[in-house]
Structure 1
Amino acid sequence: MCTFTLAWQVFEDAPVVVAANRDEQLGRESEPPARRDWERPVVAPQDAEAGGTWLGYNDAGVLVSVTNRWADTDLAAERSRGLLVRDALRQDTAEDAVRYVERDLDGREYDGFNLVAVDADAALLVEWDGNRRVHQFDPGVHVVVNVGADGRYTIPSRREEIAERQAANADRLREHLRPEPGEHSREWLDRAAAAISDHEFGVCIHGDGFGTRSSSLVRLGADGDSYEYADGPPCETPFEPVDA
């Protein structure tokens, strides 16, 4: 499970604002966010096992992130999904990133995923569960989880109970994060950070060998970019600024 929340073209001072939790096997090693040279400058954490990432942004202001996607179809998983994110971050725009992903899916099969590519001008979601679908987000607040986004959910029969619960949690989280009158991007991001740390919303999880491993707060604004990172469950790990 992973949770990705996005406020896109909501705030004049920052068109892209993100709060996201990464859920993963507790024993899988990763490196914290840093400036990386992946054929162009990128700020991202890195999966130490496969070398990819689950969230990052580049010097063109393109942010790309991926979550798992639950499905009833067994997929070949020929390649790590984090490497697809890393490849997409080489692109100049969010639209270019999605076109790259579409071309890659023509020749390779991955495990199920939801991939978001966003910049100041476009915000797109690629859903892959053996079939490929691309959605364009409208300006507003969006929540992406393993079963889909913004009320468009696919409930797999093999995980029906937990998938239904996740969809309900996502709906409650999105409603909670509707912008308040006069709210600025920093205020919204603080609220989002609190919400994805609050077990009441069910998106900070603790399980047997699996759980929320880290949390990211990213703001791409006219006055500069910022990244704060909790290298552990955000309910018990403070967010620290990333020197990028």
Structure 2
Amino acid sequence: MCIAYLAIGAHPDWPLFIAANRDEFHARPTMVAGPWPTHPELLAGIDQMAGGTWLGVTRQGRFALLTNYRDMAYKAQAASRGALVADYLKQEMPPGDYAAQIARQGGRYNGFNLIVGDLEQSCYASNRHGDGQAVVLEPGRHVLSNHLLNTAWPKTQRLKERLDEYPMQELAKTLNPVFDILKDTTPAEDNALPSTGLSLERERLLSSPFIISPEYGTRCSTVVAINRDGRGFFSEITYDPQGIPAERHDWPFSLARHPVPAAGSES
């Protein structure tokens, strides 16, 4: 997962909305999103190399997503970051407790950003945050890429501005405009590129919300949303190395408990 937009408690009818792109090497084997055979209440893709995932949701309203933090400090023997999402979704630990635990254990992993939540609380943890503490997210709209939460990189600002303007009441009709926004290949100007230790050519390639290249690029776009009645969906489009859609999967679901508290109401 390399860029994600989250609206948490920001709309009275849609307490959760996530739109995200996963960028990865095309050769890395991956299973498309769907119910996990061993945990059918869990909807997510599967990284077949390490067994974890980058974004998922459960019928209990738990959700989690992960991005890698881009830096040159890479440990070959570090624990799999994809397990951070999968482990949270498989258990019932409150998001605040889980995020705090992971923040304390951050040295086991290469650089990561992790958001875990349910429909009552959402938390952010990163082992590049500096203080080793998890952060409770306030209701609102957030964006995450390969730096810290809400870092104003050109790609994150571009995606946030476009999705901030999107009328979320349209989610019940069609997701196509959201997928169109996610498929934005506009690169940043050179003078606006971040400096993360990569070559200028590589920074240019990675500067758009949607990335196309033969070896590495956007493998899938995902939209997750849950409305106040407890009905949700998990929708994913996968792409080939040319950025051409290969498959689309739509998984509607109902929460095991509902209705969902409206934004700004007491739970």
The TM-score bracket by the shorter chain reads: 0.7 to 0.9
Mapping of residues 22-37 of structure 1, within 5 Å: 22-36=22-36
Aligned residue in 1 for 2:154:
168
Assess, with a 3 A threshold, how the Cα gap between structure 1 residues 100 and 41 changes in structure 2: closer, same or farther. Answer: farther
- Please give the secondary structure, in 1, of the residue aligned with 2:211: coil
CA distance in 1, matches of 2:5, 2:45: 18
Asked if the contact 2:185–2:210 (Cα under 8 Å) also holds between the matched residues in 1, the reply is yes
- Please give the secondary structure, in 1, of the residue aligned with 2:159: helix
Mapping of residues 105-144 of structure 1, within 5 Å: 105=106, 109-129=108-128, 131=130, 132-144=132-144
CA distance in 2, matches of 1:89, 1:100: 15
Aligned residue in 1 for 2:164:
178
CA distance in 2, matches of 1:148, 1:207: 25
Among 223, 232, 237, the alignment partner of 1:230 is 237
Aligned-pair identity (%): 26
Letter in 2 for 1:112: G
Aligned residue in 2 for 1:159:
none
- Please give the secondary structure, in 2, of the residue aligned with 1:34: strand
Aligned residue in 2 for 1:241:
250
CA distance in 1, matches of 2:243, 2:11: 26
The question of 1:219 aligning with 2:225 is answered yes
CA distance in 1, matches of 2:133, 2:161: 25
Q: Deviations over 1:23-59 (max 9, x none)?
A: 0011001111121255683111101111111111123
Runs of 4+ aligned residues of structure 1 deviating over 6 Å after TM superposition are none
Quote the offset at 1:94 in angstroms: 2.5
Assess, with a 3 A threshold, how the Cα gap between structure 1 residues 39 and 26 changes in structure 2: closer, same or farther. Answer: closer
Greater CA deviation, 32-41 or 43-52?
Answer: 32-41
Letter in 2 for 1:116: I
Taking structure 2 as the reference length, what is the TM-score of the superposition? 0.74
- Please give the secondary structure, in 2, of the residue aligned with 1:227: strand
Assess, with a 3 A threshold, how the Cα gap between structure 1 residues 39 and 176 changes in structure 2: closer, same or farther. Answer: closer
Q: Deviations over 1:121-158 (max 9, x none)?
A: 2222112238534333222221100012223x6xxxxx
Q: Deviations over 1:143-196 (max 9, x none)?
A: 100012223x6xxxxxxxxxxxxx11211221222246x742617965432211
Assess, with a 3 A threshold, how the Cα gap between structure 1 residues 142 and 34 changes in structure 2: closer, same or farther. Answer: same
Quote the offset at 1:215 in angstroms: 1.2
Taking structure 1 as the reference length, what is the TM-score of the superposition? 0.81
Letter in 2 for 1:140: G
Write 1 or 2 for the structure with the bigger share of strand.
1
Which runs of 5 or more residues in structure 2 are unaligned?
188-207, 254-267
Assess, with a 3 A threshold, how the Cα gap between structure 1 residues 70 and 240 changes in structure 2: closer, same or farther. Answer: same
Aligned residue in 2 for 1:160:
none
CA distance in 1, matches of 2:182, 2:55: 16
Aligned residue in 1 for 2:42:
42
Greater CA deviation, 213-222 or 129-138?
Answer: 129-138
Letter in 2 for 1:242: W
Asked if the contact 1:76–1:109 (Cα under 8 Å) also holds between the matched residues in 2, the reply is no
CA distance in 1, matches of 2:90, 2:154: 35
Q: Deviations over 1:73-122 (max 9, x none)?
A: 344652111112111113333224313423543xx511111111122122
Larger radius of gyration: 2
Asked if the contact 2:8–2:17 (Cα under 8 Å) also holds between the matched residues in 1, the reply is yes
Name the Cα RMSD after superposition: 2.8
- Please give the secondary structure, in 2, of the residue aligned with 1:184: helix
Greater CA deviation, 123-132 or 169-178?
Answer: 123-132
Asked if the contact 2:100–2:134 (Cα under 8 Å) also holds between the matched residues in 1, the reply is no
Letter in 2 for 1:241: D
